[in-house]
Amino acid sequence: MDPFLVKAIQLILSLSFLIVLHELGHFVPAKLFKTRVEKFFLFFDVKFALFKKKIGDTVYGIGWLPLGGYVKISGMIDESMDKEQMALPPKEWEFRSKPAWQRLIIMLGGVTVNLVLGFLIYMMIMFVWGTAYVGPDDMPEGFAVVDSFEEYGFEDGDRILEVNGKEFENSLDINKHLFMRDVENITVLHQDGTEETISVPEEIGTQMFEQGIMQPFVPIMAPVLDSVQPGLAAEKAGLKKGDKVISLNDIEIGYYHELAPVSVENKGKEVSLVYERDGKIKSTSITPNEEGRLGFVKNYEFDIQRKSYNFLQSISKGFDYGYWTLRDYVYQFKYVFTKKGASQLGGFGAIGGLFPDTWNWAGFWHTTALLSIILAFMNILPIPALDGGHVMFLLYEMVTGRKPNDKFMEVAQMVGFFLLIALVLYANGNDIYRWLFE
């Protein structure tokens, strides 16, 4: 199946699952507090719905515009902007008639479900698949190091032993830790057998971001293909599992990490590729796609270890993994407010790119858990039209004892709604721009 179609199916399935459960997070406490829910929709039903059915007081349905979902709660100022209902005297079943603490629980329900769901999925992943890791003994060739990191004392062939004085289990996580964690020093084993503890700058993550160096450490591997991805350049060029790349665009390739700079520099251009198959030297033409990808899947020359967990261990490990996922996302959120960060915002194309090219349940659930935690964090931001905006105004009411007036809430809701629409258009515009010009 085409990789684009596989990613699209996973994206729709994942978002549908997360949206329905998020809206249930609002729906269930609303019902518990005897608040009428007029609509429960997956996707938006602008002008018409693909499906709808009324059961009791609630219309359940599926809209045609896949930008989210919603529950319409009686007596609540939301994106529906139902001014006629709000102009009438409050009814006992309406949201506005309920105590502030009940309204707060209703508004926090969706975020709570997404947050808890993300942690539960990670626990399930740990129990079913465990974790994969590569230790220093599993990669004897070590890492290739970018020039700017050599200035600190790192060398090609280094193996990671410790970070901040503690044993570092998964060497492949070193780039993530440098970018998003507090790394003060790294102990490495040089190829000459000597160990050295090297200090890194305090703001190393910011420096990596500004310089565009997101992978200062790249595993050293021979340029041998484990497989090729369907529909991409490598498959079209006739390359197969086990082929060893010798040169690309007449540039000699000694290690796998040397492929990417050449392919990115020649994205969209036809270049020559020389490779070895069954002891014979062959050549072909290949055209990297708009992202500079060739469609190779690298053949890891080191052993990838797996650690299994029992039920209780998976709960602890899954919680720890979820905590650091949330913490890392919140930490890197600051880069969104920079010029470079804003230009890298992505929409549905970028989200779809998080899923694996081929169907893989472990990969699907990993990405779904990440999206669930991201949705929880984004929805709790104090922006009108988001759950966090409603929570902000409810907390104001609970502290001061005064409700913001309906006119103010309507204007705030409208401003927030247009801000969100602008952000969605901008993010998806970035996707289109990258697809067309990069």
- 7 Cα distance to chain centroid: 13
User: Which of these, 223, 79, 200, lies nearest to 144 by C-alpha position?
Assistant: 223
Q: Out of 220-229, 246-255, 312-321, 369-378, which region has the weakest mean confidence (pLDDT)?
A: 220-229
Residues 236 and 193 in one domain: no
Q: How far apart are CA 168 and CA 171, in angstroms?
A: 7
Where a domain ends, among 268, 298, 328? 298
Residues 180 and 241 in one domain: no
Q: Out of 40-44, 340-344, 349-353, 388-392, which region has the weakest mean confidence (pLDDT)?
A: 340-344
Residues 275 and 289 in one domain: yes
Residues 156 and 189 in one domain: yes
Number of domains forming the structure of the chain: 3
So what's the pLDDT on residue 431?
A: 63
Where a domain ends, among 201, 218, 235? 218
Query: What is the overall mean pLDDT for the chain?
Result: 88
- 2 Cα distance to chain centroid: 22
Give me the mean pLDDT over the 53-62 stretch.
Answer: 94
* Local confidence band at 258 (pLDDT 50, 70, 90 cut-offs): confident
- 286 Cα distance to chain centroid: 30
Where a domain ends, among 218, 241, 273? 218
Give per-residue pLDDT as tens, 187-245.
999 999 999 999 999 889 989 988 888 889 999 888 888 888 777 888 888 998 889 99
- Which residue shows structure tokens 């490990």? 317
220 touches 140 (CB < 8 A): no
Residue 94 belongs to a domain = yes
So what's the pLDDT on residue 136?
A: 92
- CA torsion 139-141-142-146 (nearest 10°) is -140
Give me the mean pLDDT over the 161-174 stretch.
Answer: 95
Give residue 236's domain range. Answer: 224-298
Q: Which structure tokens are listed for 51?
A: 């499906």
Highest mean pLDDT among 109-113, 401-405, 418-422: 109-113
**pLDDT top residue among 296 and 126:** 126
User: Which of these, 179, 227, 222, 187, lies nearest to 204 by C-alpha position?
Assistant: 179
Residues 13 and 94 in one domain: yes
What is the value of pTM for the model shown?
Answer: 0.84
Residue 333 belongs to a domain = no
Residues 210 and 257 in one domain: no
So what's the pLDDT on residue 101?
A: 95
So what's the pLDDT on residue 188?
A: 97
**pLDDT top residue among 422 and 347:** 422
So what's the pLDDT on residue 83?
A: 60
Residues 211 and 247 in one domain: no
Order the strands of the 195-199 sheet from edge to edge: 166-167, 159-163, 185-189, 195-199
Residue 74 belongs to a domain = yes
Residue 332 has pLDDT above 90, yes or no: no
Assign residue 251 the CATH number of its domain.
2.30.42.10
H/E stretch holding 347 reads none
Residue 127 has pLDDT above 90, yes or no: yes
Q: How far apart are CA 269 and CA 377, in angstroms?
A: 41
Q: What is the percentage of the chain residues whose pLDDT exceeds 90?
A: 55
Q: How far apart are CA 272 and CA 166, in angstroms?
A: 46
**pLDDT top residue among 411 and 60:** 60
Residues 73 and 7 in one domain: yes
143 touches 160 (CB < 8 A): yes
CB atoms within 10 A of CB 322: 23
